Structures are given as structure tokens and as C-alpha cells.
Amino acid sequence: MPQPPRPPARPVVRSHHGDDFVDDFAWMSDKHSEEFLAHLAAENAYTVAQTAHLEALREELYGDILARTKQTDLTVPDFVRHSDGSTWWYYSRSVEGLDYPIHCRLAADDPEQIPDVTEAPEAEQVVLDENELAHGQSFFALGLCDVSPDGTRLAWSEDLTGDERYRLRVIELATRTELAAPDVDVAGGGCWCGDDRLVYLTVDPAWRPDRVWLHTLDGSADDVLLWHEPDERFWVGVDESRDRTRVLLAAESKQSGEYRLLDVADPTAGARVVAPRRDGLEYSVEVGTDALYIVHNGAASEFQLARAPFTASDVDAWQPLVPQRPGVRMLGVQAYADYLVLSSRRDGLPLIEVIARTQDGGWGEPAPITFDEPLYSAGALSADDPATDRIRLVHESLVSPRRLDEYRLDTGARRTLKQSEVLDHPVHGAYDPSRYVQRREWAIAPDGTRVPLSIVHRADVVPDGSAPALLYGYGAYEHSLSPWFSIPRLSLLDRGFVWAIAHVRGGGELGRAWYEQGRLLAKPNTFSDFVAAARQLAESGWTSPDRLVAQGGSAGGLTMGAAVNLAPDAFRAVHADVPFVDALTTILNPELPLTVTEWEEWGDPLHDPEVYRCMKGYTPYENVRAARYPSVLATTSLNDTRVEVTEPAKWVAQLRRTVIADEARPILLRTELVAGHGGVSGRYQAWRDLAFELAWIIDQVAPERAE
């Protein structure tokens, strides 16, 4: 058998708050050193050798994805009326054999008649072909992609390495002539400010967006600094109002924020503050046709909706519109001339409500839009027209592929614009959702809290403990894991797997309180919740510990590492993707990307000994035990700036030298050398990577079901 790499131990003592920790692998922090790159290459070679027997299964799984995916496809055209009076349908097409989408437009005559552009019309204009931009590149990711208000120019930004350092480009659409753009690395966001100016973001050395700039395309003036945010807890962002008369500038931290409005007609006059930041006050601003609409948590932990005049400069001008409601976490609002569309969460599921304007010019009561499944994801897409009487809804579930509906705000009528297709499989035939069952179950955490699980499996699976299973988790940033559909997942379900999501604390599924109970000093709840969910799956008969795989990425990778330290016996295998497993070392270093902005999520262990002790107690790298652990597959990328490749590399080295060795439970590290936090960029290689991970999962807990 091939032998795993054994990197040298070079002790470095880290001392904080009276605690000394000996870090034998701190040398890996120099991720571009020849020694570390050679180590990653050796790890990749070892992983290849350990998984060589899975080549046929990988090809079969990759073939499954290709067979079921409609590789030549279209988005539904979206009607846009530009400031010069021109009207267009905008859409994107994917083409079999090509990795990236092609963004197109077609002149529009009737906004009621969505054109059939299955075959490219002769008059179709290609706005941007990502395949041309990606040609010859190992990686390509699009950041900004925005047509000017008058429809004549296109601005986009591109990342060619995966490190999220973008370059901004602008062209005249009629001639494809490239215009002068800022010659600096920029963050991924940005927007137009009229037809001849762009607003863009630059970053500080820790890769925190901290400056907002105004760029004039004709080069008649130097770029103007609109905002510099010196507080390292905050990052800045920008967006256009729906009517494109204002640019919204925002500075946000994990628990407070501040918005400013910039008049597009006179941008050099400066931006006006909507309400000065206050510690603990979070708010977002939507520019309506008659007022500002503000979702905020002032005296409302689950947030409420207020209305304010355009001239508002403090919270005193905010007039309550929809108060906080029990069990409802309000997330945002879209404001149109005659309707408001509220997005919230209730009972662990998305809630979309419509508020109609009354005859006296006020607003009525929120009316929910219903969906016909017990578990689902749903969202309201923002419409371009401020006076629209319709919106588009997206809906999917663990068993239902994504569907796009048009929803009439005036009548409640709904029509399906596109149902995503699952093509026939050569063995399993046509996709039939009735062959699968989705359900909600609850685990009991050690403190008695009920933790929801969303579960899907083939209808003929019986809860006798024999089924292999995968448990997915995240649990941070108030991010909610709403049940979603996945074509690659079908390859597990059709092999008899049970697939489940653990909606652990730290996420936002059950509201702001659910998040608060899984952050800062309460962070350990996230990990014990995940273990409780694993135990529940076994105790209810859906699987057994020796048939269970745990999976999570980024902050979810932290959940994987911490949970397996708590209960290595609860899992047979763990897939940790770009895992945040050396959390304490990272959060102690304010020079690393994003560290200071993260202190309001995890706490500040550099200055607070109680936070240090808490993080010291759960950070995976420092808590590996001499016990029998599950198999581990850690996947990462060299150019990831959110979770450095150093973290999983150190963790894997620590696991190998500490846990009780078991040849049947290998510990593997796989690194993409030209990719970022989201992995590779081209869809075909991404599908191959998914096939690699699925094959490893099947081999660990259900090798008899590989065929």
C-alpha cells in the first residue's frame, strides 16, 4: 500500500492568555514555499493512489450527471426597458461541451410575449461569452456583469486564479470597443452611476472591501473616493436603486450597519447617511417610488419593516409599517409602486408575502404566497420595473427540480415559465419524484433543544439501520440551508442512500435566536447539535454509525472537524470541503484576510481570554484525539482566500499522527492548484470533482452498492 506523506514537525509555541500551544505544523502557513507545494503534490499523489480503484465508479457517476443534465439550455428571457427607450429581452444560454454561459439579448416588441429563443434568432446579440474570456485560462469567474442604464455599454469583472481579485473591464456593446477601466484589483461588486460612470470597490491588505470609488469612463477626471471605511469590523458594498436614480452605499459588520444614498444626477456632491451606525443596529434600505423602506432590528430582534422619507437622516424618521411578529424572521423587502414583497422565514421555511397599496395610499396586511410541499426552498426574484404588477418566483425541494413561476401581484395568478428538466437516465429511466420521500424529523440536543432535520430517500428504503446515509451541515452566519434539489444527489438516492440536512444552531432556519444560540460563546451548540442529528438518524433506523457520512464545507467544515472530535464513533466517514479547521490560529491573526470582520461571529480570542478558552475547546486542529476516527477526505484549493489551504493541510497532518491508525479508514487531502473557495470554475471539471467525491463516499459506506 502507498504510504501517506509525513510532513516534518517544527515546533512553534503560541502563547496567549497564559496558555501555550505547540504548533508543529505552523511552517505550512507559507503556502507558496517550495516545500509546502511539494507536500501538497505528495498529498495529491497519495490520494490518487488510494482512490485508483474507484476510477470506473467515478466515470459511471460522471456519466450519471451528464445523462440527467440538460447541457444545452436557456434561462427565461427577462424584459428590460432602458433609459434611452430601447427594450430588450436578456437571457443566458448554455451549450453542450462548453463550460460557461453565453449572455445574450434580443430586441423586444411586446413585454407580454416572452420569445422562444431555443434556436438563436438571427437578431440575437451576444452581450458576453464567458467561454471566450475563459479560453486558455485554468480558471475563470465572473464578478460584476451589468449593462448600462441606456443599454449601450457593458461592465464586467473577472477573476483568473480563484483568489477573488478581480479586474474590471468595460466595452461599447455596438462596436465591442474596450473603454478605459480602473487599472487596479477590485472586489467582485460594483454598479453603474448613470451611463458614463461606474462605482467600484477596492480592498485593504486583509482583502476587506474598504473603499468605494467613482470612475468616469471618458477619463476627464481622476477617480473619486466616495467612501473609505477605516473600521476593520466593517466591509463596504454598493447597489443601484430599482429606478437607477440612486446608488446605495453600505458598510456592514456582523451586528451593525450604515447606509448612504448617492444621487446619480450629482454623484460628486457626496452620499447622504440614512441613519448613522449604532452598535447592534442592523438595517437594509430599499428605495421605493415614494419613500425608503427599511428592514431593521431596532427594538425587534426578529426585525421589522419601516417607511421613511427620502430625506431621512436618522432612525427618528422611520415610521413602523410591519411590526415584528412571533416566529417570523424578516429578511428583506422589494418595493414597487403598488406592492411590497416581503421575504422572511417561518417554521424553518421561506415565507414570501405581498402587501398591496390601499385606495387611500397606505398599505394593507401581508398576504402569504403558498407552496404545495412540506419542505422547500423559495424566493422572489427582483423585478427591473418599479411599476410592475408581477414578479418571478423560484421554488424547489429535495424531490422537485427548480421551477420558475410568474406571479401576478394583483390577482395572485401563477403560471410556470420554466420547469428545470431531469433527462432520462439510461438505467433508471425518467425521473419520477413520487419514487422519493422527503420528511422532517427532530433530534434532541444535549441541552434539550429540538433540532430539525430535512430527510430524503427512495420510497422503498426501510428504517432498519441498513441504509447508507449522508448528513450535511453548516451552522454559521445565520445562513439557512433550505432544502434544494440536486441531480448528482440522485446517484446516491438510487443506490439506497438516505440524505439529510441537519439544521443546526448558528444557521438562520429558526430565526435570529437560532443564530445567536450558535455563535460567539454559544458556538459549541452547533457541533453538539450535529452529533445529536447523527445519533437521531441512527436511533430512528435510517442508518447506523458505520454507514453514515458527514459532509460540510467552509464553516460547515469546522462543524465536521469539531463534531468528529466530539463523537468519532458517530460517523464512518467525513468529507470536509475547504474546511475552517484551524479556526483559533486564524482568528488570532488580524493580518489574515477577513479575520477582524469575523470577530463578531466567533469572538475575539486575541483580546478576550474567555473567547480564547471557548475556541481552544472546539477548534478541530487542536482537539484531535487518540481514538478510532472515521475516514476523512479533505478537499481544498491553493488560491482560496477565505479558508487558507494551510488549515486542512495542518489538520490532515495532525489527524494522521494522532488517531488510531486503520488502513480501512484512510485520511486524504486533495488540493486544486488553480481554484478558489468555490473550487474549479468550469462546469465539466466541477462535475468530475463531484463524481470523485461521490465515489469516495459510496466506497466508504456502501461499497456493495457501487454498481
Q: Single out the catalytic residue among 39, 677, 681, 689.
A: 677
Mapped onto helix, strand or coil, the DSSP state of residue 294 is strand
In angstroms, the CA 60 to CA 67 distance is 10
Mapped onto helix, strand or coil, the DSSP state of residue 463 is coil
Smallest CA-to-CA distance from 198 within 159, 243, 145 is with: 145
Q: Which residues contact 110 (CB under 8 A, 6 or more apart)?
A: none
Q: Single out the catalytic residue among 241, 528, 544, 554.
A: 554
Q: Which residues contact 90 (CB under 8 A, 6 or more apart)?
A: 77, 78, 80, 103, 104, 105, 127, 147
Contact 639, 161 (CB under 8 A): yes
Q: Which amino acid is at 512?
A: R
Smallest CA-to-CA distance from 354 within 336, 373, 340, 338 is with: 340
Q: Single out the catalytic residue among 480, 640, 681, 689.
A: 640
Contact 377, 397 (CB under 8 A): yes
Which residue do the cell numbers 468530475 mark?
688
Q: Is 677 a catalytic residue?
A: yes
Q: Is 640 a catalytic residue?
A: yes
Which residue do the cell numbers 507558496 mark?
32
φ, ψ dihedrals at 168, nearest 5°: -95, 140
In angstroms, the CA 690 to CA 355 distance is 42
Q: Where are the beta strands (DSSP E) in 290-402?
A: 292-296, 304-308, 319-322, 328-335, 339-346, 349-356, 367-368, 377-381, 390-396
In angstroms, the CA 532 to CA 516 distance is 19
Contact 400, 433 (CB under 8 A): yes
Question: Residue 636: CA atoms inside 13 Å, Cβ hemisphere, count?
Answer: 32
Question: What sign results for the dihedral spanned by CA atoms 214, 84, 80, 97?
Answer: negative
What are the cell numbers at 251? 458598510
Question: Residue 386: CA atoms inside 13 Å, Cβ hemisphere, count?
Answer: 14
Q: Is 16 a catalytic residue?
A: no
Q: Which helix (DSSP H) or strand (DSSP E) does residue 469 occupy?
A: strand 469-473
Catalytic residues: 554, 640, 677
